[in-house]
Structure 1
Amino acid sequence: MSASGGTKAIIAALSANLAIAVSKFVAAVFTGSSSMLAEGIHSVADSGNQLLLLLGGKRAQRAGDKKHPFGYGRERYFYAFVVAVVLFTIGALFSIYEGVHKIADPHQVESPIWAFAVLIFAIVAESFSFRTAIKESNPLRGDQSWFAFIRRSKSPELPVILLEDLGALLGLIFALFGVAMAVVTGDGVWDGIGTLMIGVLLAVIAVVLAIETKSLLVGEGATPEVEEQIRVALEGSPEVARVIHMRTMHLGPEELLVAAKIAVEHDDTAGEVARGIDEAERRIREAVPIARVIYLEPDLDRMRTGASG
């Protein structure tokens, strides 16, 4: 993937989750805590998700062929959508099941010192991963709010990692709450409640990711700001009287398709129209470098023709 920041954030999250998963499972064995077991499964699911994002980025780099003439850029959207499905099916559903089971049949948390030590270690590691994701996202986010960045980003990796890391940190806090309350009150039901909270949290994040990545997978156009840049570039060409209509669609995070019908003067020669189209394409690519595939259809400027007649 061209966004090296996205790759860096994925690797940071993967490294943190692999170390955390091992520590959580060790703690789950010693404590019998369902919250720790749910968090261990959560970390395994996150690790798998990050591997899927890396795989999607690698496969998206393949050149176009006869079957896929526009290339494979959307592979990144597909694998991001799979991440949302995996997060829900493995992380959320397992945690909800474990939480309900533990509430119905509570057990005392044993050796809680293991749980507290692992949770503190995990919070520190996840904070490092989350900080890396924030740092790498800021240049792309600009002056947008975080909510707007997640909603409008055409590159799926950073929003996915941001939400996963946020979910991981909140999940650790929920697990810490459940284990602490179970130890203080001596009632294992609190451990189940913490586990159930983790499951609901993961389900919410998975639904948000699924909605956003589905929109990208189906085919999103350029942002209004980018479309305005393209329009200005087109109408800045001497041979283009105006833009009649325009359509855009992302073939991938860094590849945009532009199709527009442009008005030309009725007395322009074919050669002048051809040169005008070439110049218009050059101006578009200069203004919006990700505009890789451009189709321009010339038409007579009927507004002016009608006015003169």
Structure 2
Amino acid sequence: MAAHGSKKVIYAALAGNTLIAITKFGAAFYTGSSAMLSEGIHSLVDTGNQGLLLYGIRRSGRPADKKHPFGYGAELYFWAFVVALLIFAVGSGLSLYEGIHKVLHPEPIGNPLINFIVLGLAFCFEGWAWYVALQEFRNTKGQRSYFRAVAESKDPTVFTVLFEDSAAMLGLIVAAVGIGIAYFAQIPWMDGAASIVIGVILGVTAFLLAFETKSLLIGEAAANETEVEITKIVATHPAVTTINELRTLHRGPHEILLAISLDFRNDMIVGQLENVIADLEQHIRERVPQVHRIYIEAQSHKDHLEVEQKLDGDV
């Protein structure tokens, strides 16, 4: 996914959540609803999260320097992980605290009309932001299932917003049910119970996001299709006899580091070998533009196997 596509999704969510947070807090203070207060906290956290993702995109675009020779692309993964922690610590934690407090000390809520109006408007705004995120995600998932596309995605911004908005819409439904039962059935503690359920939803969302971004932080290889394409380019070159090893690493959503060990024909002189390596790099960059840095090692297949065996023995 292009960077501008990611930003479009985040800006849409940021605009919607800012307006929603203000109206939710106003309704919560006016009616005294615990579920509405939790929803306000939820939207406020989401607003801050979108700001962090935009900050991460800007920071990750900085050029490489002496201290960070491979660039700052992976910084986006760090800020996406921070977002997951904030959803858990602030969003889920405060919602659970407020809900438990209201269950233990229930208070009747006022006229819920304002709450229902705010929830309805919030559902429309969240639905719009969710639809924008879903469309962007569909553009990249191809024929893969949604679960597989999330697991294999290298861009955490879109699936983070998609997860957040999905949790938000589910939370709005829970809040409306809790408020309705608390007021019309005269069971005031149900308002607090709805807040607890919202906290659980946020906790599960945070866990899923943390799990996915952790893998990106540790370092994921390029997609199988990308590695297959690189292998075809290299294997079909007449000067290459054997691909000893091919390793890829995502340093950002659209930035791949490639390290490859090749066994070349033995009849080539140094100048010819240099030309072959330059030719390989050019073809790889043309057909796989995500590959920013390429390191090609010339090594006999026999020597490579000996080194691998030694490394395996040391382990």
In the other structure, the counterpart of 2:306 is none
**Inter-partner Cα distance in structure 2 for 1:17 and 1:105:** 30
Provide the secondary structure at the position in 2 that maps to 1:76: helix
**Inter-partner Cα distance in structure 2 for 1:268 and 1:302:** 18
**Inter-partner Cα distance in structure 2 for 1:124 and 1:12:** 13
- Report Cα offsets for 1:273-295 as digits up to 9, x if no partner: 11111111112112211111000
In the other structure, the counterpart of 1:51 is 51
- Report Cα offsets for 1:241-276 as digits up to 9, x if no partner: 121111110111111000010111122221221111
Residue 172 of structure 1 deviates from its aligned partner by: 0.5
Pair 1:252 & 2:221 matched: no
Given residue 295 of structure 2, which amino acid in structure 1 is its aligned partner? Answer: Y
Provide the secondary structure at the position in 1 that maps to 2:193: helix
Pair 1:222 & 2:225 matched: no
- Report Cα offsets for 1:25-62 as digits up to 9, x if no partner: 11101211000000000000000000000001111111
CA RMSD of aligned residues (A): 1.3
- Given that residues 266 and 300 in structure 1 are in contact (C-alpha distance below 8 angstroms), is that contact kept between their aligned partners in structure 2? no
**Inter-partner Cα distance in structure 2 for 1:238 and 1:40:** 63
- Report Cα offsets for 1:39-96 as digits up to 9, x if no partner: 0000000000000000011111111110001111111111101100111111000001
**Inter-partner Cα distance in structure 1 for 2:149 and 2:122:** 27
**Percent of pairs with identical residues:** 43
In the other structure, the counterpart of 1:307 is none
1:152-231 alignment to 2 at 5 Å?
Answer: 152-231=152-231
Given residue 95 of structure 2, which amino acid in structure 1 is its aligned partner? Answer: S
Provide the secondary structure at the position in 2 that maps to 1:107: coil
In the other structure, the counterpart of 2:65 is 65
Provide the secondary structure at the position in 2 that maps to 1:241: strand
- Given that residues 123 and 172 in structure 1 are in contact (C-alpha distance below 8 angstroms), is that contact kept between their aligned partners in structure 2? yes
**Inter-partner Cα distance in structure 1 for 2:69 and 2:12:** 34
- Report Cα offsets for 1:190-238 as digits up to 9, x if no partner: 1111101100000000011111111111111111111111111111212
Tell me the TM-score normalized by structure 1: 0.95
- Given that residues 237 and 279 in structure 1 are in contact (C-alpha distance below 8 angstroms), is that contact kept between their aligned partners in structure 2? no
**Inter-partner Cα distance in structure 2 for 1:236 and 1:274:** 17
Given residue 186 of structure 2, which amino acid in structure 1 is its aligned partner? Answer: G
In the other structure, the counterpart of 2:89 is 89
**Inter-partner Cα distance in structure 1 for 2:241 and 2:282:** 17
Given residue 36 of structure 2, which amino acid in structure 1 is its aligned partner? Answer: M
Given residue 179 of structure 1, which amino acid in structure 2 is its aligned partner? Answer: I
In the other structure, the counterpart of 1:19 is 19
- For structure 1, the 5+ residue unaligned runs are 304-309
Provide the secondary structure at the position in 2 that maps to 1:247: strand
Provide the secondary structure at the position in 1 that maps to 2:214: helix
- Report Cα offsets for 1:136-184 as digits up to 9, x if no partner: 2221111122111211110110010000000100010110111011112
**Inter-partner Cα distance in structure 1 for 2:158 and 2:35:** 27
Pair 1:265 & 2:265 matched: yes
1:270-281 alignment to 2 at 5 Å?
Answer: 270-281=270-281
Tell me the TM-score normalized by structure 2: 0.94
- For structure 2, the 5+ residue unaligned runs are 304-315
Residue 300 of structure 1 deviates from its aligned partner by: 2.7
State the number of aligned residues: 303
Query: Comparing 263-272 with 197-206, which one deviates more in the overlay?
Result: 263-272
> Runs in 1 of length 4+ with deviation above 2 angstroms?
300-303
Provide the secondary structure at the position in 2 that maps to 1:171: helix
Residue 2 of structure 1 deviates from its aligned partner by: 4.5
**Inter-partner Cα distance in structure 2 for 1:300 and 1:167:** 54
**Inter-partner Cα distance in structure 2 for 1:215 and 1:51:** 22
